[in-house]
C-alpha cells in the first residue's frame, strides 16, 4: 500500500494482518457523508467483530482541499471524534490530485469501503453509503470462510483492480464526495 | 410449530423451508418496540436476503390484551403496515396467557428473534432489540454454511430449547414487552 | 365537539380549556404515520408547554377498520404506548365511515393537527407530517398572544371550517392515512 | 462584535440587522456535536423563518486546535457542507485560547446558541443541544413581539452578559466541546 500507517510499522504490517479480514475505510475528514455515515459505520464494524478475526483500517484519501486536510488537521479530527482504529494517510501523487492508493484501488470517491478476505483478495470495493444489514451479511460470510492456506508465509498483497467505471460526478452531492475523474492518472 | 400459518399449508410447509435459513420474528401488534424496530428489521432482512436462501416468518405471540389483538385486528395491522412476509398466529394456551409456540421456544417477550439454520437447528434466540450489523453478520455466517445433508428428506423440526432464564420483568418498558413469567406453564 | 372525551366531563370542559391553546391531534391507532410521528410529536408538545398555557387532546378519528379500532383496543394501545394526554373517541356517523368531528373539521385523514388559540379560533388545520421547528414557531406565536377577552364567559366553541379541499387519495401511502372522500357526507 | 464577518461590511451591519431577530450559532468546524446537530439546526432555522424577520449568523469560535481550524479550512468546510448563512470568525485573543466574542458573551463551549430579539437584547444564551420544538417555540414568541421602537435609529449593540457560570468541563464529551475555563480572561 502506498499509505503511511502510523499504527503498523512497515516491517510487521503483513504480520499483523496475517489471516485476518481487512476492512479499509477510505474517507476525507471534510466529506459530510464520511463524517455522518462512513466513519461511524467503520467504528461499529470495529466494535462488533473480534480483533483476531477482522481489522478496520482508515485511509485518508485526500483528493481535494489538500492544504487544509493535512496530517495535523487529521490528528485533531481523530482526537475530537474519538476514533480508535488505525488510520493511514494516502500518499499524494506528484502528477495530480488523486493520491496513490486511491488510484491503485480505483476508488471513485469518499466514503469508499474495500474488504479483503483472509487471503488478501478484494471482495468488495464500494463507493457511497451501504446499509448495516447487507454489510454485516458480507462480513459474516467472510468470517465463516476458513483460511485456505493458514500455515503459509504472510498474506499476499492485495492486487488492486483496474480503475473504477467512473460514472460518478465530481463534487459532494448528498454528502458523498466523488473525485473528478480527469485528475485520475 | 403450534403456530397457524396462513401462508404455508401444513402439507407443504416443511417442503417450503427445506434447506433454507428461517428467521422467526415473534411480535405483538401493540408492542411499541416491535412496531418501531423489530418489524421494520424483519422487513429489511426479507429485502436483503434471497428467498431461496432465507425466509422470514412473523409469529404473532399474543400474551396480553388477547381480546383486541385478534386475527381481524392483525389483518388490519398487516394491511396498514404493508407487511409482505408470512405471519402465523401463535396458538393460545388453555391454561394461561402465554401461547404455545412462545412457551415451546421459551421466548421471554416481544420482540424476539429466533434463527434456524439450514438444518433446522436454533442458532439464535434473542429477546429485545439487536443492531443490524451483528445481526447481518450472524445471518451471513449461516448463509455461508453449506447444508450438511442437502439430499435428505425434509428438514427436522426445530427442537425448542428449555425455557428462558426469565430475568425480564413483565410489562413494556422502553417499548419492549416482557411477559409475566408466572404465566409460563 | 362530537368526541367523547373521558377526561373532560361535558359540564366543565369549556371551563377546563378557558383561555388555553388547544392542540387537537387526530389519529388512528393503526395508522403508521400516527404511531411513528404524530403521536410522539403530540407527547413532545405536551412535555414542552406548560399545562396552564396549552392542552394537548388526542382524537381517535376512526374512518376504516372500525371493528378492530374500538374503545377496548384503543385503551390497550394507550396503555402500551404510555400516552398521558386525554384522548376522545370521535363519534361514528350513522351514514358513512367518517366520524362526526372529523367531518365537522373537514379533516382529510390521519394524522391531522388542529390548533385553536386562546379565543377558540382555528389557527391551523394540517394533514400529514409537520416538522418540530415550524410547529414550535406557530405554537410560540400563539403563546405570545394575550387573550383578547380574558374576563369573558367561557371560550367560544370552535366553529369548524368548510370541508377540506380533498386532494388526498384514500389509503395509507407513506404511513399517512387519507380518508376516501366519497365517504364524506 | 469582535467577530470578522465576511458577509456584513462594518459600515452597514447594524442596518442589515435592524429590527430583526438574530440567531447566533457559535461552533467549531471540528466539534462533533456542532457538525451533527448544531449546524443542521441553524440551517433549518434559516429555512423556516423569513429573512426579513430573522437572520442566522454563524460564529466560528475557535478555542482549540487553532492551527488547523483556520480561515482556509473553514472555507473548505463551508463549501463541502453547503452552508448558506453568513459566518463570522471570532477574533483570537492575544492572551489565551478563547476568542474575544466568545469571552464577551460568556459562551461556555460549542455548539452555543445566542438569540437576540428585535431590540438587540439577549433572550437566550444556550450551551449544548436543544430540541427543535422548544427552540421553535422561543423563536415564535420573539417573532410575535412587535418592535418597541421600530422608527428609532439603529439597533443597540447587544451588551454581553457577565461570564458564564463555568460548570462545564473542558473537552468534547458526547460531541459537545466545552472550553477550558482557566483560559478565560
CATH number for the domain that contains residue D143: 3.40.30.10
Q: For A72-95, what is the mean pLDDT? A: 97
Structural contact between residues A100 and A90, judged by C-beta atoms closer than 8 angstroms: yes
| Cβ pairs A/B, distance under 8 A | 71
Q: What's the pLDDT at A33?
A: 98
Mention every residue, 6+ apart, whose C-beta is less than 8 A from residue A66.
A92, A97
Contacting chains of B (3 CB pairs or more, <8 Å) are A, C
Query: Chain C residues contacting B, CB < 8 Å?
Result: 30-32, 35-36, 65, 67-70, 72-73, 76-77, 80-82, 172, 177
Q: How far apart are CA A111 and CA A126, in angstroms?
A: 9
Q: What's the pLDDT at A148?
A: 58
Nearest chain C CA: its distance from D153 CA (Å)? 26
Q: Which of B10-19, C67-76, D32-41, D147-156 has the lowest mean pLDDT?
A: D147-156
Q: What's the pLDDT at A57?
A: 98
SS3 A101: helix
In a domain, B166, yes or no: no
Helix H or strand E encompassing D72: helix D71-81
Nearest chain B CA: its distance from A49 CA (Å)? 8
What's the structural domain count of chain C?
A: 1
Average pLDDT of chain C is: 83
Name the more confident of B33 and D167. B33
Of D67, D76, D172, the CB nearest to A30: D76
In a domain, D152, yes or no: no
* Strand-strand pairing, C54-60 and C87-89: parallel
Of D41, D48, D131, the CB nearest to C137: D48
In a domain, D163, yes or no: no
Q: For D41-53, what is the mean pLDDT? A: 96
Look up the domain containing B63 and give its range: 11-147
In a domain, D166, yes or no: no
Contact criterion met (CB < 8 Å) for A132 and B137: no
Omega prior to A111 cis, within 30 of 0? yes
Nearest chain D CA: its distance from C51 CA (Å)? 15
Name the more confident of C157 and D169. D169
Residue B10 has pLDDT above 60, yes or no: no
In a domain, D175, yes or no: no
Name the more confident of A92 and D3. A92
Contact criterion met (CB < 8 Å) for A144 and B144: yes
Q: How far apart are CA A43 and CA C170, in angstroms?
A: 44
Q: Which residues of C touch D23 (CB under 8 A)?
A: none
In a domain, C32, yes or no: yes
In a domain, A170, yes or no: no
User: How sure is the predictor about D177, in pLDDT bands with cuts at 50, 70 and 90?
Assistant: confident
SS3 A127: strand
Q: Which of B70-74, C109-113, D170-174 has the lowest mean pLDDT?
A: D170-174
Structural contact between residues A67 and A139, judged by C-beta atoms closer than 8 angstroms: no
Contact criterion met (CB < 8 Å) for B80 and C172: yes
Of A133, A138, A145, the CB nearest to B45: A133
Q: Which residues of D touch A77 (CB under 8 A)?
A: 30
Helices (H), chain A: 13-17, 32-33, 39-48, 71-81, 100-104, 132-144
Residue A4 has pLDDT above 50, yes or no: no
In A, minimum Cα distance to B132 occurs at A133
Instruction: Give the mutation candidate from D50, D140, D144 for the C interface (greatest C CB count, under 10 A).
Output: D140
Beta bridge partners of C54: C21
Q: Which residues of C touch B70 (CB under 8 A)?
A: 68
Q: How far apart are CA C8 and CA C20, in angstroms?
A: 14
In A, minimum Cα distance to B44 occurs at A133
Q: Which residues of C touch B82 (CB under 8 A)?
A: 172
Claim: this prediction has a pTM higher than 0.80: yes
Contact criterion met (CB < 8 Å) for D76 and A70: no
Q: How far apart are CA A52 and CA A142, in angstroms?
A: 13
In a domain, C160, yes or no: no
What angle, rounded to 10 degrees, do the helices at D39-48 and D132-144 form? 40
The answer to whether chain A touches chain C by having 3 or more C-beta pairs less than 8 angstroms apart is: no
Of D41, D132, D143, the CB nearest to C141: D143
User: How sure is the predictor about D5, in pLDDT bands with cuts at 50, 70 and 90?
Assistant: very low
Contact criterion met (CB < 8 Å) for B76 and C70: no
pLDDT for B36-47, tens place per residue? Answer: 999 999 999 999
Mention every residue, 6+ apart, whose C-beta is less than 8 A from residue D174.
D33
Structural contact between residues B57 and B24, judged by C-beta atoms closer than 8 angstroms: yes
Residue A159 has pLDDT above 70, yes or no: no
Beta bridge partners of C89: C4, C60
Nearest to B155 by CA among B7, B42, B12: B12
pLDDT for B59-107, tens place per residue? Answer: 999 999 999 999 999 999 999 999 999 999 999 999 999 999 999 999 9
Cell 460526478 belongs to residue: A169
Residue A154 has pLDDT above 60, yes or no: no
In B, minimum Cα distance to C173 occurs at B80
Q: Which residues of A touch B25 (CB under 8 A)?
A: none
pLDDT for C58-85, tens place per residue? Answer: 999 999 999 999 999 999 999 999 999 9
Contact criterion met (CB < 8 Å) for A139 and B138: no
Of B132, B143, B144, the CB nearest to A133: B132
Q: Which of A118-132, B82-96, D147-161 has the lowest mean pLDDT?
A: D147-161
Q: How far apart are CA D11 and CA D7, in angstroms?
A: 12
pLDDT for A5-46, tens place per residue? Answer: 444 444 456 667 889 999 999 999 999 999 999 999 999 999
Nearest chain A CA: its distance from B153 CA (Å)? 26
Q: For D37-45, what is the mean pLDDT? A: 98
Q: Which residues of B touch C76 (CB under 8 A)?
A: 30, 64-65, 68-69
- Grid cell listed for D24: 447566533
Amino acid at each position: 500500500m502506498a499509505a503511511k500507517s502510523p499504527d503498523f510499522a512497515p516491517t510487521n504490517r503483513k504480520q499483523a494482518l496475517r489471516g485476518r479480514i481487512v476492512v479499509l475505510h477510505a474517507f476525507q475528514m471534510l466529506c459530510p457523508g464520511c463524517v455522518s455515515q462512513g466513519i461511524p459505520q467503520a467504528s461499529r464494524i470495529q466494535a462488533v467483530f473480534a480483533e483476531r478475526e477482522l481489522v478496520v483500517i482508515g485511509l485518508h484519501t485526500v483528493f481535494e482541499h489538500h492544504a487544509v486536510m493535512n496530517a495535523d488537521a487529521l490528528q485533531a479530527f481523530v482526537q475530537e471524534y474519538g476514533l480508535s482504529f488505525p488510520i493511514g494517510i494516502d500518499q499524494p501523487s506528484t502528477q495530480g490530485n488523486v493520491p496513490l492508493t486511491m488510484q491503485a484501488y480505483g476508488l471513485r470517491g469518499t466514503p469508499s469501503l474495500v474488504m479483503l478476505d483472509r487471503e488478501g483478495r478484494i471482495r468488495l470495493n464500494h463507493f457511497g453509503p451501504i446499509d448495516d444489514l447487507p454489510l454485516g451479511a458480507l462480513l459474516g460470510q467472510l468470517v465463516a470462510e476458513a483460511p485456505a492456506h493458514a500455515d503459509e508465509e504472510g498474506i499476499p498483497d492485495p492486487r488492486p483492480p483496474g480503475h473504477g467505471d467512473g460514472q460518478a460526478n465530481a463534487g459532494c452531492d448528498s454528502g458523498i464526495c466523488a473525485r473528478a475523474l480527469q485528475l485520475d492518472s
